Structure 1
Amino acid sequence: MRILYGLLACLAVLAGCMQVGSTPLASVPPSALNTAKAAAKDVLKDPDSAKFKPGYQAYRLENGDLVVCGVLNAKNSFGGYVGYEPYYVRLRSGQVMHVRVDGENASLACNSAAAGSVNISN
């Protein structure tokens, strides 16, 4: 019986998720790029220390969301720069929907966008 309840709970969670395709974009409006960078900075321990490498990748998802991926460096809680790490920001109508600045997970999210198979929850 517990297995049945567990399966039903998993189905309920997955019902809110969907996989969407993506299309690479050559550029994005400056306001969207600024919003993405500000969102990435907001989740850092020291937002003022953020240094963004020039360049980014952008993707338009089938549901209309915009994904911006890039690379940034920032200070950790000890005050030292940690090295350049990827960031991932998903925007919907200019509003931030999801932010990843945690290295490997941000990289995986960006790779999914590049491959055209992004899992999102509504």
Structure 2
Amino acid sequence: MSVRTAYLSVVVAAALSVASSAAADAIDLETRLRGQLEAVLKDAHSAQLEILSGPTQRKYVYMGFESEGQVVCTRVNAKNSYGGYVGWRPYLFTLKPNGAIGVIYGGERHSDELIQQLCGA
């Protein structure tokens, strides 16, 4: 094996390791977000979750309180009480330094304004 081939093998292995780590982090994030959906949805197991952006560090004001943390912009399609999907709706998750996760979903004026401000949705 030449020096160049050995070098390329190391570079490819490093790139695969980084990609694998990023994929694992994304799966862990989705698992954590789905855990929060269980608290707010009637049938969280059937929910379709799409992460649109994040996590990104942001400062924001919600219901008169200033806060700072990482935000994740998503959309969720979940079933209602009749078993039918209601359509994609914006959800904003806040990740606090202490590990807590908050969820803010559209449908009310103050939440819609914040989601529009932070996610552009």
Alpha-carbon distance change, 41 to 69 in structure 1, aligned in 2, over 3 angstroms: farther
> Higher helix share goes to which structure?
2
Matched residues, percent identical?
Answer: 30
Q: What's the TM-score once normalised by structure 1's chain length?
A: 0.56
Consecutive unaligned residues of structure 2, counting only runs of 5 or more, are 1-21, 60-66
Q: Which moved more, 1:39-48 or 1:60-69?
A: 60-69
Q: What is the Cα-based RMSD across aligned positions, in Å?
A: 2.8
Q: What's the TM-score once normalised by structure 2's chain length?
A: 0.56
Consecutive unaligned residues of structure 1, counting only runs of 5 or more, are 1-26, 116-122
How many residue pairs get aligned? The number is: 87
Q: Structure 1 stretches (4+) deviating beyond 6 angstroms?
A: none
Asked which structure has the greater RCO (Cα within 8 Å, sep 6+), the reply is 1
Residue pairs, 1:1-122, within 5 angstroms = 29-30=25-26, 31-53=28-50, 55-58=51-54, 59-62=56-59, 65-93=69-97, 94-96=99-101, 98-103=102-107, 106-114=111-119
Higher Rg: 2
